[in-house]
Amino acid sequence: MVITLEYDGSGFQGWQLQARGRTVQGVLEQAVKRSTTAFSRVIGASRTDAGVHALGQVAHFDTCTRLDARQLMGALNHWLPRDVAVLDCRPAPSGFHAQFDPSRKLYRYRILRGGVRHPLREDCVLRESRELDLGAMRRCAAMILGEHDFTSVCSAGSSANDHVRTVLRSELLDQGDEVHYMVEAGGFLYNMVRILVGTMIQVGLGKMTPGEFALALGARDRTAAGPTAAARGLTLVRIAYENDPRTGWSADSADLR
Amino acid sequence: MVITLEYDGSGFQGWQLQARGRTVQGVLEQAVKRSTTAFSRVIGASRTDAGVHALGQVAHFDTCTRLDARQLMGALNHWLPRDVAVLDCRPAPSGFHAQFDPSRKLYRYRILRGGVRHPLREDCVLRESRELDLGAMRRCAAMILGEHDFTSVCSAGSSANDHVRTVLRSELLDQGDEVHYMVEAGGFLYNMVRILVGTMIQVGLGKMTPGEFALALGARDRTAAGPTAAARGLTLVRIAYENDPRTGWSADSADLR
């Protein structure tokens, strides 16, 4: 089965199963077990960090249940807690793998401009009260486009050997009192989006020039880049597969939010 | 002082102080007391129900504090819990009354079309999985405009004697997978917006025609109208006063969300 998921990351220690702590993978595997009466390993496309949200995470699992996809989706949503839901469920084509099949992932990072807390958005934005030079940040966003070695914006905990990634979209949108950084790529390194945002904010604050941003990106050295921006601003918006088993499913409206 | 407030209504038993239960007025009065070291009664413009949210509630209180408005706002936000925040704070003109001064209030009601739970929006929308006839609902929205006796859409618990209100805006917006009902008036009756929405949904479902909606509105009888729609879909977006002490303050971006 292949499932598409929305979750509020605030109450989770991230996607991946851990010895302790509530994880999205953990509550999903429990819901699958309750729905099908048998354990299945659930494999997610992206191992989102604690606090990171998803509007369109994708996962797959094998099951021998006699429930059809529609019934299984109903059962999963019945057993899942209120901060996770299955938006779509269908049989996976033979051999489909959510994590390793070629895909494009779109992330959005929301920066709220202003020092005042906004309770209805607080868990989904990074607040920045200081003035941001959006023009300078836009020049950085443009530099991120294309194929680069992104070692400088990869956290030390990464297990990836190859740090070259191709960014297909890298854009700052002016959304009222928010700025949204939209970034899409075939794959990302550990904490890559959050470090890119943290470094662009340094540029926006005038603590780094766009030229220095270019040098930092090229340095292949994590210490050359800025800090890792807070997880809560980040949302995995959607994942599109090269041969997407979810024809007819659309998350297009999702990236407007 | 006049303050503008945002809150997530999910964790409150509404605005108004109660013998038991957490209320917005209650936590505000506590925060004022901690900030100024003296008790002040906080008067809100709208007594929102349990579960109703606010992007721009307005309230006033008298205080002898030596803190200026900026310092007081900082202190209030320091003491307030994470689901309420003061967005703006300034001295009130002599005699200003948040509840009784002439004002226009804008409410938004969010209907999510589709049967699937969306965890990131669940607390702020009413879900409707059945097909809605938006054209028919729009005809109803148009009938609401102008001056009418709204007895039919006023809950029994109302203390108002005069049920005539003038609606200045009544519009259904198509927002991707949501429908937003935007309604603005000088004043509303108890549960008026939620009953209007509950009745329009009956029309959207084909259980009532627009003609029957007109008759129900004219009947001056609560039993002629439909059910009260769930509180969580409702947000008090903004309040504008005839002589608004908050010149320069704007909630314009708020009604886009």
CA atoms of B57 and B39, how far apart (whole Å): 21
Angstrom CA distances, A45 to A25, A80, A88, A142, A192, stand at: 11, 19, 15, 26, 16
Q: Which residues of A touch B117 (CB under 8 A)?
A: 77, 82, 85
CA atoms of A256 and A176, how far apart (whole Å): 13
**pLDDT value of position B228:** 97
**pLDDT value of position A257:** 38
Instruction: For chain A, count helices (H), then strands (E).
Output: 5, 10
Cα B173 vs. chain centroid, distance in angstroms?
17
A62 is catalytic: no
- Written as one string, the DSSP assignment of B177-229 is TEEEEEEEES---TTHHHHHHHHHHHHHTTSS-HHHHHHHHHTT-GGGS-PPP
CA atoms of A69 and A238, how far apart (whole Å): 21
Do the Cβ atoms of B8 and A120 come within 8 Å?
A: yes
Helix (H) or strand (E) holding A211: helix A210-218
Q: How many CB atoms are located within 10 Å of the residue A228 CB?
A: 19
Count of all residues that appear for chain B in the document: 257
Do the Cβ atoms of B253 and A124 come within 8 Å?
A: no
Do the Cβ atoms of A118 and B85 come within 8 Å?
A: yes
- A234-241 and A103-113 strand pairing: antiparallel
Mean pLDDT of A188-210: 97
Query: How many interchain CB pairs under 8 A, A with B?
Result: 57
Residue A53 has pLDDT above 70, yes or no: yes
Extended strands (E) in B48-142:
53-60, 84-90, 103-113, 126-128
* Phi, psi dihedrals of residue A156, rounded to the nearest 5°: -55, -30
* Phi, psi dihedrals of residue A171, rounded to the nearest 5°: -145, 140
Residue A250 has pLDDT above 60, yes or no: no
Mean pLDDT of B152-174: 91
Which stretches of A23-84 are DSSP H helices? Answer: 24-36, 69-79
Those residues whose C-beta lies under 8 Å from the C-beta of residue A82, and which sit 6 or more positions away, are B117, B119, B122
Residue of A nearest to B122 (CA): A82
Partnered with residue B103 across adjacent β-strands are B241
Q: Specify whether the CB–CB gap between A166 and A100 falls below 8 A.
A: no
**Intra-chain end-to-end CA distance of chain B, in Å:** 28
Single pTM value for the model:
0.91
**pLDDT value of position A249:** 60
Q: What percent of chain B shows pLDDT beyond 70?
A: 96
Mean pLDDT of B82-110: 95
Residue A161 has pLDDT above 90, yes or no: no
Dihedral of alpha carbons B90, B92, B97, B103, sign: negative
